[in-house]
Amino acid sequence: MTTLDADKQLQLLIKFGGLVSREPRLDPLLELIADQVRAILNADRCTVFLIDLQTNELWSKIAQGLEHQEIRIPMGKGLAGITAVTGETINSVLAYGDPRFSADIDRVTGYSTRNALTVPLKNNKGEMLGVFQVLNKLDGGDFTGDDIGLLTLLGTVAANSLENARLYEDIRRTQLETIYRLAITAEYRDQQDTALHLKNISAVSCLIAMSMGLSADDCEDIRQASTLHDIGKVGLCDAILHKPGKLTPGEYEEMKKHTIYGAKILANTESRLLRVAYRLACAHHEKFDGSGYPNKLKGGEIPLEARIVAVADVFDALCMPRVYKPAWGPQRAYDYVMAESGKSFDPEVLAAFKAAFPGILKIYENLPVGG
Ligand code: C2E
Ligand code: SIN
Ligand code: SIN
Ligand code: FE
C-alpha cells in the first residue's frame, strides 16, 4: 500500500501547469502529462487518449517497457470510448465487473486493470479533445470524489497545451510536405535524374553539417531546405533546361539566373526553414574565392549552409551522368572537390566532408559509374 502525502501532491500540482506549458512537441508532452498525472493521482497508470477526427478513433501511446506503442480504440468502445462520446466521468471501481469496460488494451499490454477513473478532456471552448484515464489507485482503495475533481482540473490545465502541441505538429507537418511538393515541382521540369540528385544532396549536406558539429536542429533544417536549392530552375525555358549538350556562354548566363529566380520565390518569409532555403537558393553557386554567382560573395560572406550545400551539389553532380558528361566515380569526384579547396569551396567545410566521406560513400556505393 502506497500513499501520497498532501504536501508532495501540492508540490506536484503547482509544478504541473508550468511543466506542460513549456513542452511544444506532442509526444514528449503526452509522456510528461501521463507521468505527472499518475504521480499526482497516486495511480499506477495514466493514459491520455486523443480523438483522431479523421478516423473517429481514440489513440494513445502506451508505455510497454521502454517502448511506446500506439493503440487505437473506436469511439464509443470501452470506458474511454464512452467518455469521449458522452462527456461523462466514469469511476469504475471494479473494471472487470463493469460491462462498459473493454479489456482490449489490457490484452495488448498484458496489464490488469482493477479500477479506472475516466474523465473527458475538453479545450476552453468546451470541445472534446480526448480522454484522461487513470488506472489502479496505488493505496489499494478506490478513486474518490477528490480524485475526480483533481483529474478534471488537470485535464483543463493540460488541454490548452495539448491543443497547441497539436497545432504545432500540424503546421510542422504541413510545412515539410509543402517544401517537398515544391521541390517535386521543380523536378518535373528538369530532365536529369533530379529526384535522386535531391535526395543525395539532402543526405550529403546533412552529413557534412553533422560532421561540422552543427546543432541537430540546424542539421535538420539543412537536410530539409537543401531540397529546394534549385527551385529557381522552374523559371528557365525548356531550350536551356533541356539542352542535350554543352551550353553556349549566353545560355549559361541564362542558366545562372536560376539562383535569382529561386531567391525571388523564397524571399521575405518568416519561416526559419524557408529562410535557410532562401539563402541556399541564392548562394549555392557562390565560390569561396569570390568567383561564383550571382553576387560574387567571398568566404564568410557566403552563408555557411550554402558553403555546405555547394560541396554536396557539385560532388553529386559529378557522380551523376549529365547530358553533357558521363557519371564520375565517387573517388574521382572526391579528388576534384578536394582540389577546389580555397577556390570553389571552404576548406573547413571540406575538412568535414573528408571526415564524413566514409558515410557519404555508402550512399553512392550502388550507383552505376560511367567515366
Ligand atoms: P548541375 O548539373 O546539377 O551541376 C551543379 C554544379 O556541379 C555545376 O554548377 C558545376 O559547378 C558542377 N559540375 C557539374 N558537372 C560538372 C562537370 O562536368 N565539370 C565540372 N568541373 N563541374 C561540374 P554550374 O556550372 O553553375 O551549373 C549549374 C547548372 O547548370 C547545372 O547543374 C546544370 O543543370 C546546368 N548546366 C551547366 N552547364 C551545362 C551544360 O553544358 N549543358 C547543360 N545542358 N546544362 C548545363
Ligand atoms: C477502457 O477504457 O475500457 C479500457 C481501459 C484500459 O484497459 O486501459
Ligand atoms: C560548367 O562548369 O560550366 C558546367 C559543367 C560542365 O559542363 O563542365
Ligand atoms: Fe544550382
pLDDT (tens digit, 9 = 90+) per residue, 263-312? 999 999 988 999 999 999 999 999 999 999 999 999 999 999 999 999 99
The single residue of 8, 15, 77, 233 carrying the catalytic annotation is 233
Q: Exposed, middle or buried, 330 (CB in 10 Å: 0-12/13-18/19+)?
A: buried
CB-CB contact of 284 with 313 (8 Å): yes
Distance CA 3, CA 147 (A): 13
Task: Give per-residue pLDDT as tens, 94-128.
Answer: 999 999 999 998 988 889 999 999 999 998 888 99
For residue 233, indicate whether it is catalytic: yes
Q: How far is the CA of 247 from the centre of ligand 3 (A)?
A: 8
Q: How far is the CA of 96 from the centre of ligand 2 (A)?
A: 10
Q: Which residue is associated with the grid cell 499526482?
A: 40
Task: Give per-residue pLDDT as tens, 63-103.
Answer: 656 677 888 999 999 999 999 999 999 999 999 999 999 99
* Domains defined along the chain, listed by start: 6-167 (3.30.450.40), 189-363 (1.10.3210.10)
Q: Are strands 43-52 and 57-64 parallel, antiparallel or unpaired?
A: antiparallel
R_g of the chain, CA atoms, integer Å: 28
Asked whether the bond before 294 is cis by omega within 30 degrees of 0, the reply is yes
**Quick one: CA torsion of 82, 83, 85, 87, rounded to 10 degrees?**
150
Q: Which ligand is nearest to the CA of 318?
A: 1
Residue scoring higher pLDDT (86 or 182): 86
Sign, CA torsion 80/86/92/95: negative
- The atom of ligand 3 lying closest to the CA of 246 is 7
Q: Structure pTM?
A: 0.69
User: Which of 57, 60, 79, 90 best tests ligand 2's pocket when mutated (most atoms within 8 Å of CB)?
Assistant: 79
Task: Give per-residue pLDDT as tens, 277-291.
Answer: 999 999 999 999 999
CB-CB contact of 310 with 284 (8 Å): yes
Note the pLDDT of residue 371.
Answer: 42
- In 3-state terms, what secondary structure has residue 167? helix
Residues near ligand 1 with C-beta < 6 Å? 243, 246-247, 255, 285, 313-314, 317-318, 322-325
Q: Percent of the chain at pLDDT above 90?
A: 69
Q: How far is CA 364 from CA 60, 62, 77, 208, 354, in A?
A: 40, 39, 51, 15, 15
Q: How far is the CA of 134 from the centre of ligand 2 (A)?
A: 9
- The atom of ligand 3 lying closest to the CA of 325 is 7
CB-CB contact of 59 with 72 (8 Å): yes
